Structure 1
Amino acid sequence: MTDIPLTTWAALAEIIGAGSIVTGLVVGLFQIHQFRIQQRDSAAINLAQTFYSPDLARALRLLQNVPDGISLAELRERGEDYEQAAITVCTSFETMGLLAHEGIAPMRLVMDLAGGIVSTMSRKLARWQEDLREEQSQPSWGEWFEWLGDQAQASKHNDPPAHVRFKTTRRV
């Protein structure tokens, strides 16, 4: 042990230290990658759970038969249940829109999960939303729902539906 000069020991210590730093960086990057996957999966589960809401299901059932571009006055004429349904749909998809815009939930996942429903509901409720914004003097009411609806409309014209797109795909 006394045959090895101190400079050699110092060089070895530097190599080991540099190796430790590089290893720490690699492990850290891997952990960040795993965290992002976990975050994406968690967002997907939370988005999917939105559709298990009896309130949302009831709202979609009520609104599926209203005409596209229904006004605030026309919706109110149908009764309080219809207005509540519109608010439920708007606020549910408002959250999805913001999560997609911020990259927390991948847009592809949101479109595959809810694109058709969002496209339909945003078309039906567009006028209602404009009227409500004016009545409430709140131009940002439902902004992320509207944004998501625009994305869904564009996606609808670019991509065939999943049952067509993946007709021959089998996953086990």
Structure 2
Amino acid sequence: MTDIPLSTWAAMAEIIGAGSIITGLLVVLFQIRQFRVQQRNAVAINLAQTFYSPDLAQALSLMQNVPDGISLAEIRARGPEYEQAAITVCTSFETMGLLVHEKIAPMGLVLDLAGGIVSTMSRKLARWQEDLREEQQQPSWGEWFEWLGDQARAIKHEQPPAHIRLDQGAGGS
């Protein structure tokens, strides 16, 4: 055959095997990274689609005109459409808050999509939530909406809105 000893062939086979294992691990790591990017993009698309909901748009339209800290009684006095709007706003942003907390959706993405709205709506509906929690004897009602609102207010006060921040960046170039 050839003059290469069997031990050399065995060593070459081990090197090739180790190289195959390393290549396989690198491919797996790359695929995991790609999967995470795809998952993040899917979450972003789903979150963005939330804002195409006619129900949420109608609810936000009604709620933007209520004063900050409106109570449960005041919401009910305005009619059932206002109470439904408050529930729609709360439950929509409740879902977003939980997705952020569980690190399924990045905070930055959610705040870029809805930070100002969440901040405003949670401020307007804070008293309503407290009243509803007491009435329903359910202290966790809207907890993730409240949490997301608190986060949004804190972060939004640290940095200027995108339209100002981006204009400043473009002017400085």
* TM-score category, normalised to shorter length: over 0.9
> Quick one: distance in 1 between partners of 2:128 and 2:90?
11
Q: Does residue 5 of the first structure (1) align with residue 5 of the second (2)?
A: yes
Name which of structure 1's ranges 52-61 and 126-135 shifts more when overlaid on structure 2.
126-135
- TM (norm. structure 1) is 0.95
Alignment partner, residue 107 of structure 2:
107
Q: What is the identity, as a one-letter code, of the residue corresponding to 2:40?
A: R
Q: What is the identity, as a one-letter code, of the residue corresponding to 2:121?
A: M
Alignment partner, residue 94 of structure 1:
94
Percent of pairs with identical residues: 82
The Cα shift of 1:159 comes to 1.0
Q: What is the identity, as a one-letter code, of the residue corresponding to 2:107?
A: M
Alignment partner, residue 166 of structure 1:
166
SS at structure 1 position matched to 2:48? helix
> Quick one: distance in 1 between partners of 2:23 and 2:140?
47
**Structure 2 residue runs without a partner (length 5+):** none
- What is the 5 A alignment of 1:97-136? 97-136=97-136
SS at structure 2 position matched to 1:112? helix
> Quick one: distance in 1 between partners of 2:137 and 2:4?
81
Alignment partner, residue 27 of structure 1:
27
Deviations 1:131-157 (CA, angstroms, capped at 9, x unpaired): 111111111111110010001100121
Structure 1 segments of 4 or more deviating over 3 A? none
Q: Does residue 38 of the first structure (1) align with residue 77 of the second (2)?
A: no
**Structure 1 residue runs without a partner (length 5+):** none
Q: Does residue 17 of the first structure (1) align with residue 13 of the second (2)?
A: no
Q: CA RMSD in A?
A: 1.2
- TM (norm. structure 2) is 0.95
